Structure 1
């Protein structure tokens, strides 16, 4: 019969504790891996909700930039999910909810005035985003049918910052974005963070421009970036390039 001394009891307890800590650490890392992209989608949704509150409180400049920050987050979440092999049905649904909040409701409020026709235009924009997210599946991997709402939102947010009080031009742009989103045209998946170096540089420039938000060139940067996806979708932004 082997008698355990207090010292051996202590070492056994310490060993079990270390093994338990190691297992807990692995569980935390696995949880972080599986939910990193979901966290970015949640952050996108938070930006959208903050933009909604900013619009309702009359802080138009902040509302526009919160939408553009959501634009950056949305471009990143898919890349992170694929990089970490953490794609899931839950993540896809969360991404759609975040997109509808930021690029649907929050963006539509950037166009809202006291005029009845402007409010109708806002509702039409939200409905077009809803239709785009729910029904316009292309059936082709990494190819969209209809303009992704993220780009129409970025165009409207940056144009709104640049145009200021020129609502007539903004209304025309809004109608054009609605038509692009409900169109049957095909658009490539851009994969900005999983493609050539110059696309990653463009993205990094977008992040840097967030810190230059008071300056008009920052708004021009986002307007040119998002417009280029509409004008040159295949020649510039195809994931095959």
Structure 2
């Protein structure tokens, strides 16, 4: 039973890898579907860990690796595939900046913030969803500006509510039953 949350997290990671694979074959819709499926799995892994009393350092690290792939690398590659490719140097720079800021965000969270009631900087799953949605503007300049803005927000000192913890608390207390 203690492995169930880690298996859900690995499912999130697999979704990120499949999203990237889909982009290699120019299947944008499948990539988006895999990213959103990864988001659902990301919502449930922590909840399952708390319910099964299986919270662990290993699970926290796995979650960060999965989130980097599913909400960092895959959305940036999606943005590049749909529009940023038309801005050769700037497009690559935006993709790299977004992914690096996502990696920094996750590292900072694991070291300093995992016990705080709010997020300091935009959580990478939220940034990833925003980048996926921005990608459907198909406008390279707007997408480049959006990717850079999201990159900044991930590493900023701006506080964001901790929706996942509040949702888990409400579900566990029976307020959503």
Q: Structure 1 residue 140: deviation in Å?
A: 4.5
- Structure 2 counterpart of 1:183, from 139, 144, 156: 156
Instruction: Give the TM-score of the pair, scaled to structure 2.
Output: 0.85
Conserved 8 A contact 2:122-2:160? yes
Which 4+ residue blocks in structure 1 deviate beyond 4 angstroms?
none
1:138 is the counterpart of 2:113: yes
Instruction: Give secondary structure in 1 for the equivalent of 2:160.
Output: strand
Structure with larger Rg: 1
Q: Is the 8 A contact 1:34 1:84 kept in 2?
A: yes
Matching residue of 2:126:
151
Structure 1 residue runs without a partner (length 5+) = 1-32, 202-241
Distance 2:132 2:176 in 1: 22
Check the 8 A contact 1:41/1:74 in 2, yes or no.
yes
- Conservation of the 8 A alpha-carbon contact between 2:76 and 2:131: no
Which of 68-77 and 38-47 deviates more?
Answer: 68-77
Task: List per-residue Cα deviations over 1:85-129 (Å, max 9, x = no partner).
Answer: 110111111111101111111111012115121011100001000
Corresponding position of 1:24: none
DSSP 3-state at the match of 2:119: strand
Tell me how many residue pairs correspond in the alignment: 166
Structure 1 length-normalised TM? 0.63
RMSD: 2.2
Q: Which residue of structure 1 aligns with residue 38 of structure 2?
A: 70
Higher-RCO chain (CA-CA 8 Å, sequence separation at least 6): 2
Q: How does 1:16-35 map to 2 (within 5 A)?
A: 33-35=1-3
Decide whether the 8 Å contact of 2:15 with 2:34 is kept in 1: yes
- Counterpart mapping for 1:1-241 below 5 A: 33-112=1-80, 113=85, 115-136=88-109, 137-138=112-113, 140-161=115-136, 163=137, 165-191=138-164, 192-195=167-170
Q: In the aligned structure 1, how far is the partner of 2:176 from the partner of 2:122?
A: 21
Residue 144 of structure 1 and its aligned partner are, at CA, apart by 1.9
User: Is the 1:193–1:200 Cα contact (8 Å) retained in structure 2?
Assistant: no
